[in-house]
């Protein structure tokens, strides 16, 4: 079984959505998915809501610090924001393929409820497409 780490700054939004989609696309059978941050910010309610709109419940996820997984040997480490990519601590996985994609951060959008919803929808769709393609290419 492969181990995948999705890493973001606060493990509250983009990495949580990616974690949810990876579990969905992989059906929890051929890989174990972890998500973490270089900080922990708790789960973002907007991320929880936008995933539920697509039929995925990530309410049971937790916001974890990357140091919690220091002993896990990852096959893939995917950073989903530039800040995490630039500030990621050393992760001692011997053969991990490291990938990076800077996804739009919907949590930074200030505006009406409709504008915030549109921002989360945009980020969710970008993440969904990227990780669906990742699974098709790598598994």
**What pLDDT is recorded for position 90?**
75
pLDDT tens across 48-77, in order?
999 999 999 999 999 999 999 999 999 999
Q: Is 13 a catalytic residue?
A: no
**What pLDDT is recorded for position 9?**
93
**Highest mean pLDDT: which of 17-31, 76-90, 91-105, 108-122?**
108-122
Determine which one of 88, 96, 99, 121 is catalytic.
88
The boundaries of the domain holding residue 53 are: 2-138
Model confidence band, residue 28 (pLDDT cutoffs 50, 70, 90): low
Report the predicted TM-score, pTM, of the whole model to 2 decimal places. Answer: 0.95
Q: Is 8 a catalytic residue?
A: yes
CATH of the domain at 108: 3.40.50.2300
Number of domains in the chain: 1
Instruction: Determine the Cα angle at 129 with ends 115 and 106, to 5°.
Output: 25
- Tell me the average pLDDT across 107-131: 97
**What pLDDT is recorded for position 27?**
81
pLDDT tens across 77-99, in order?
999 999 998 987 778 788 899 99
Q: Is 138 a catalytic residue?
A: no
């Amino acid at each position: 079984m492969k181990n995948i780490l999705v890493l973001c700054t606060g493990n509250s939004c983009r990495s949580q959505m990616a974690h949810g989609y990876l579990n969905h696309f992989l059906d929890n059978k051929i890989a174990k998915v972890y998500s973490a941050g270089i900080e922990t910010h708790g789960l973002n309610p907007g991320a929880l809501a936008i995933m539920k709109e697509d039929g995925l419940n990530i309410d049971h996820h937790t916001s974890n610090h990357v140091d919690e997984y220091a002993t896990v040997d990852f096959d893939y480490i995917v950073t989903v924001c530039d800040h995490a990519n630039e500030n990621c601590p050393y992760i001692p996985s011997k053969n991990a393929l490291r990938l990076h994609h800077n996804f739009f951060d919907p949590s930074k959008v200030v505006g009406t409820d409709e504008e915030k919803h549109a921002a989360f929808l945009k980020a969710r769709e970008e993440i969904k497409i990227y990780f669906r393609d990742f699974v098709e290419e790598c598994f």
